[in-house]
Amino acid sequence: MTDQTSAPSLMGKQPQVPGQPGPVPVQPGRVNFFTRIALSPRLHEIFERMPLMRRVTRREGEALFDVVSGFVQSQVLLAVVEFRVLHILAGASWPLPALAERTGLPETRLAVLMQAAAALKLVKFRRGLWQLAPRGAAFITVPGLEAMVRHHPVLYRDLADPVAFLKGDTEPELAGFWPYVFGPLAQEDAGLAERYSQLMADSQRVVADDTLRMVDLRNAKRVMDVGGGTGAFLRSVAKQYPELPLTLFDLPHVLAVAERFSPKLDFAPGSFRDDPIPTGADVITLVRVLYDHPDSVVEPLLAKVHAALPPGGRLIISEAMAGGAKPDRACDVYFAFYTMAMSSGRTRSPEEIKQMLEKAGFSKVSKPRALRPFITSVIEAERG
């Protein structure tokens, strides 16, 4: 990662969420009624005798076990990816012996893996043949998803001891991973750098597609992507708005390997940490930038963007965001722990970002409804 539609307004303040900066109540609150019921083993026994409540308690039990077994599910998925099971089945359906020969796994162990993959609805077994299921087909079709799973062992190792990790007693491998891949050390492992550069480019295309469905750039005069890497987001903008002038702002060594994919594209080398943001664009985008950096970097960056925009100019922020008062399963679990392991940034809720934008001088902050929050959310703000 490099140095880098109408919508309802965000009104009011959300209640303080535990674990986020802000005031902490001195006195503990009371446990609510339904939680007190769930804490009673006796009531669990009574509910098991009631048909309606039995369905509720068993559904909750299944959901709870899904949480408990989640780490095994993720490892099953990784094994499916590494043995290329889904790609093999994309070409044809296979009986277990033939599939074992192609994967190099013993039949007994492959049978366990395939059954687990079927339980996750990635594959299915019909008439003696293993087949690709629609969910498995979607998995290998979504750009970047498979590469993301292959990258997960780094994060898994960092979370192997979650207690020590949360106490800050470990040195996360992920904290040094991205500087290694994209920094000077990348020259020592060109294959690794190429692999994960492709991961970022593939996943950025999905983020770009969702972002451009939520924002309207038809009246923009020039769009500048700050911290935009080699231009994956602006490439998508250029496809949808071929006549729109574009500027890509990033570090000089990043732009040195960027492709000039449009005659409307200009390069602006610089560091948003150390340099002012160039003027001339009426729309500035920050795509997956804020959550890579601490507040000490984000707040000055937003102020620089505000100074670079003309009156009425727009800032578009696109990234996965925390749920705030309504915790989000993808962002408050996956992305929150991922950014913590990176040791540089953090996921923020829309309300937190809104407050930072207002502090920087922005007005008319709005948030379009996210199409897929686990992919990205968007916040727009205007310079008054």
pLDDT in tens, 3-48: 444 444 444 444 455 455 555 556 677 767 666 666 677 766 776 7
Which residues have C-beta within 8 Å of that of residue 359, sequence separation ≥ 6? 299, 302
State how beta strands 377-383 and 314-319 pair: antiparallel
Amino acid 15: pLDDT: 46
pLDDT of residue 16: 52
Q: How far apart are CA 149 and CA 144, in angstroms?
A: 9
The confidence score (pLDDT) of residue 253 equals 85
What are the residues whose beta carbons fall under 8 Å from the beta carbon of 294, sequence distance 6 or more? 344, 345, 346
pLDDT score for 247: 98
**Which residue carries 């916040």 as its tokens?**
379
pLDDT in tens, 261-304: 999 999 999 999 999 999 999 999 999 999 999 999 999 999 99
Q: What is the CA radius of gyration of the chain?
A: 24
Q: In what order do the strands lie in the sheet with 246-250?
A: 265-269, 246-250, 223-226, 283-287, 314-319, 377-383, 362-366
- pLDDT at residue 70 in the model: 92
- Which residues of the chain have a pLDDT value below 50? 1-15, 18, 180-181, 185-188
Pairing mode, if any, of strands 362-366 and 377-383?
Answer: antiparallel
State the burial class of residue 286 (Cβ atoms within 10 Å of its Cβ: 0-12, 13-18, 19+).
buried
Alpha-carbon torsion, ordered 156, 161, 162, 167, to 10 deg: -130
The residues that bridge with 223 in the sheet, in sequence order, are 246, 283
Report pLDDT for 64: 86
CB 200 within 8 A of CB 221: no
Q: Which residues, listed in sequence order, are joined to residue 363 by a DSSP beta bridge? A: 382
Q: At what angle do helices 145-158 and 134-141 cross, to 10 degrees?
A: 90
C-beta of residue 218 within 8 angstroms of C-beta of residue 237: no
Q: Which residues pair with 334 in a beta bridge?
A: none
pLDDT for the residue 112: 98
129-132 and 123-126 beta bridge pairing? antiparallel
Confidence (pLDDT) at 192: 52
Length of the chain: 384
What pLDDT is stored for residue 25 in this prediction? 59
Predicted pLDDT of residue 257? 84
Distance CA 173, CA 177 (A): 6
- Calpha distance 196→204 (Å, rounded): 12
Q: Which domains does the chain have, with CATH numbers?
A: 70-141 (1.10.10.10), 214-383 (3.40.50.150)
Of the candidates 122, 166, 170, 128, the residue with the CA atom closest to the CA atom of residue 146 = 122
Round to whole Å and give the CA distance between 126 and 244: 51
